[in-house]
Amino acid sequence: MSAPDYPPPPAPQAAPPAYPVPPKNGLGTAGFVLGLVGLIFSFIPIIGIVAWPLVILGIIFSALGFARTRSGKATNKGLSIAGLVLSVIGLVLCIIWAATVTKAVNELNNEANRSVTIHYEVSGTAKDASISYTTIGDGGASTNQEQPKSLPWSKDISTKGLIKGGTLAVTTGAEGGDVTCKVVVDGKETKTAKASGNFATASCDGF
């Protein structure tokens, strides 16, 4: 008897081509996104306050993502490093902004609490001069008028507040003459003006 005729065995099929595994690093990606957004916000005054939690979380996630790449549990180490760098830069900018704002607030508080002495002085030959002076401080503005019997005349006033200053004006009367007004703030002469004639006015302001 002849051997049975069996069909030939199937030819071995080629193995499917191996595709590269795409990089996977969820924590690193999250850290990169948070660091990038935080860095952008850190440049914007006032709004930049929201950058603080973003860059801090960016540092944490990027560091965790980098650690996972070191242990072989994740890939794409470069994204974690980029996220870490962006987050650190954003954090530095936030610290600079905070220090700048704190310094500005302290300077405003110091200026508001600083007391100054304003010395008003009027001299001249006018015999019927009329003097008006205004002082500005934390209590607002107060205006006073005086008609001294003779010159020279002077007045010392202490004031404090964020906005400090005042005005001094002297006007001659019908008899004329000359007048000079002078303002001295903390020992430093800041304004002076002269006028002569009937009903002439010398004004010292803007100090």
**What are the residue boundaries of the structural domains of the chain, listed by start?**
26-111, 115-204
The pLDDT of residue 59: 95
The pLDDT of residue 75: 81
The pLDDT of residue 156: 92
The pLDDT of residue 133: 92
State the angle between helix axes of 77-113 and 51-70 in degrees (0 to 180), rounded to the nearest 10. Answer: 150
Rounded to two decimals, the pTM is: 0.58
Segments of the chain with pLDDT less than 50: none
Fold classification of 115-204 (topology level): Immunoglobulin-like (2.60.40)
Instruction: List Cβ neighbours of 3 (8 Å cut-off, separation of 6 or more).
Output: none
The pLDDT of residue 129: 93
Q: How far apart are CA 35 and CA 46, in angstroms?
A: 18
DSSP 108-137: HHHHHH-EEEEEEEEEES-SS-EEEEEEEE
